[in-house]
Each structure stands twice: as structure tokens, then as C-alpha cells.
Amino acid sequence: MLFDFEGTLADFIRPRHLLADEGAQAATAVLRAAGLALPDDFADQWRQALDLAAAKAAREQQEYSADDTLTFLIQYYGNSRASRKLVRQAVDAHYAPLVAAVTALPGALAVVQTLHQAGFHLAIVANANCDRSVQRMVRQIGLREQVDIVLTSQTVQMRKPRPELYTLTLQAWDVDPYQAVAVGARLDEDIAPAQELGMRAVLFNAQPHPTNARPAQQVQPDAEITSWDELWPLLAGWLTADARPDDDFWAAAAPLEPPPVPNDFDPETPAAA
């Protein structure tokens, strides 16, 4: 099982844009405390730089890390000697409000725990420009011990809908795509690449994602759920169907018993042409 994270397993208890505003101010404070000369509107420029990098990443399906984006911005203002450690501290400060405000969606934690106890391989595969923040969010909501893998686009520098993020996860488990199921809230980034590989794909549609209108004309999930308590019965049905003998070509083609032998059969006499 491969899950997307934000909007699928988790959300925030406060509006995301307010948390991002607080984070931008916190990141700016870290940089100024270290003595960097920055313009008065640096926090706004930092938010805009993140938005531009995200748009570019989505177009190119290649991730641009928050660390690199901030490094470029502060160097633009003449701070060429800012250390990598300082940049990481500022980026961590930016994402700290989101980490503090993240929460599991209703029923998500219970379902993941049930799947884990049942022996399923579980992974979180998410687009994100800061892997550290996602890892902390997963721990914050109590999921890290339940999943085998947390893979983000920042670590591999590729974004969904490129299928490589799914492929890398399946290779780590040594399983084929037909043995796996992906669950996500976006048709373009979650469902389409999973089906491209031959995986089953479940659309989590508790709150329809605004990007789903256009790809809905071309991408049809294998199933759709609107709450997490619908997932286990769906999987159980698929497992039962997959285990039926009449779904197996060879079981259906092979006769149940050998054909009868005629009473006058003589193995030493060739049959007539």
C-alpha cells in the first residue's frame, strides 16, 4: 500500500496559508538573528520564491528543495557566505508551524494500524520540497512506526506524476505493480502514475481536490472512497476476488479429472490414423 500524505492521511488544524505566513516570518527572524542583511519585505519575497519554485517544479516534474530556494534568495541580496546549517535552521523554522499543526484525518491512523498489523507493506510517497518537514509530520501524527518507507520528491529530485517514486518503493519491497495499491487525493499526481505502472489506484475523495476536474475526463480510479473506514472492506473484496480459482487462467483451463479410458484401450496397439 502506497499513500499520499497531505490531503490523504493528514491535514492541518489551522488554514495552511496562515501557517505558511507564520513560518516565513520565523525563517526571516532566524536569518536576521544571524546578522544577514535582508529587505523589510523578505518574508513576503520568501513566500513568493517558494510559490515560483513550486510552480516550476510542477511543470518540469522535478523537485526544487526549499533549502536551495532560500540559498538562492539570500545570495541575491549579497549574503554569499550563509552556511548550509543556517539555511537548514531557517527552513526548519519555516515549517515548524505546519509540523505543530498537522493532524491525522479521521480514521486514517486506525486503518494504517490495521493494515500494519495484518502484515501489509506500507509507504508514504509524497511531493514535498523539504523531506525533513514531512518526516517530522509523519512522526507527529504517530504513523512513522506503522510504515516501512517515507519517500518524498525532494530526496529523489523527481515529482509525481512521474512514476519513478512508486517504482523505487516497489523495488525496495521487491514486489510487482499488480501486487500494490496506491491511495491518494489527486487524479493527476496519485492515481494516473499508479495506473500507468499497473497498480490499482484508490481515489480518497473526502474533500474533492480542486485539481481533479480536468483529469477526471481521462483518469478513472479503480475505486473511490470518501472515508477511511471504506478502505478495508474494499481491500478485503479485492483479496477475495484475486484468490478465487475461477480467476486463475490455468485453474479454469485444466480439467478437474482426466478423461475416461475406453475399456478396449491397448497401450501396445497404435491408434488408427
Structure confidence by residue, pLDDT tens digits, 172-203: 999 999 999 999 999 999 999 999 999 999 99
Q: Which region among 7-21, 157-171, 190-204, 246-260 has the lowest average model confidence (pLDDT)?
A: 246-260
Confidence of residue 267 (pLDDT cuts 50, 70, 90): low
247 vs 233: CA distance, rounded Å? 20
Radius of gyration of the CA atoms of the chain, in A: 26
C-alpha distance from residue 201 to each of 97, 183, 195, 197, 241 (Å): 32, 6, 6, 10, 16
pLDDT at residue 76 greater than cutoff 70: yes
Of 138, 112, 141, which Cα lies nearest the Cα of 204?
112
Provide the pLDDT confidence category of residue 119 given band limits of 50, 70 and 90. very high
Q: Per-residue pLDDT for 214 more than 80?
A: no
- pLDDT for res 249: 43
DSSP 227: S
- 25-61 residue pLDDT tens: 999 999 999 999 999 999 999 999 999 999 999 999 9
247 pLDDT higher than 50: no
Q: What's the mean per-residue pLDDT of the chain?
A: 90
pTM of the model: 0.86
Q: Would you call the peptide bond into 161 cis, given omega within 30 degrees of 0 as the criterion?
A: yes
Give me the amino acid identity at 254.
Answer: A
pLDDT at 246: 52
Above 50 in pLDDT, residue 114? yes
Mean predicted confidence (pLDDT) in 158-185: 96
Query: Phi and psi dihedrals of 177, rounded to 5?
Result: -55, -35
Percent of the chain with pLDDT over 70: 88
Q: How many CB atoms lie within 10 A of CB 142?
A: 12
Burial class (CB in 10 A: 0-12, 13-18, 19+), 262: exposed
CA 48 to chain centre: 25
- Residues 105, 138: Cα–Cα separation, whole Å: 12
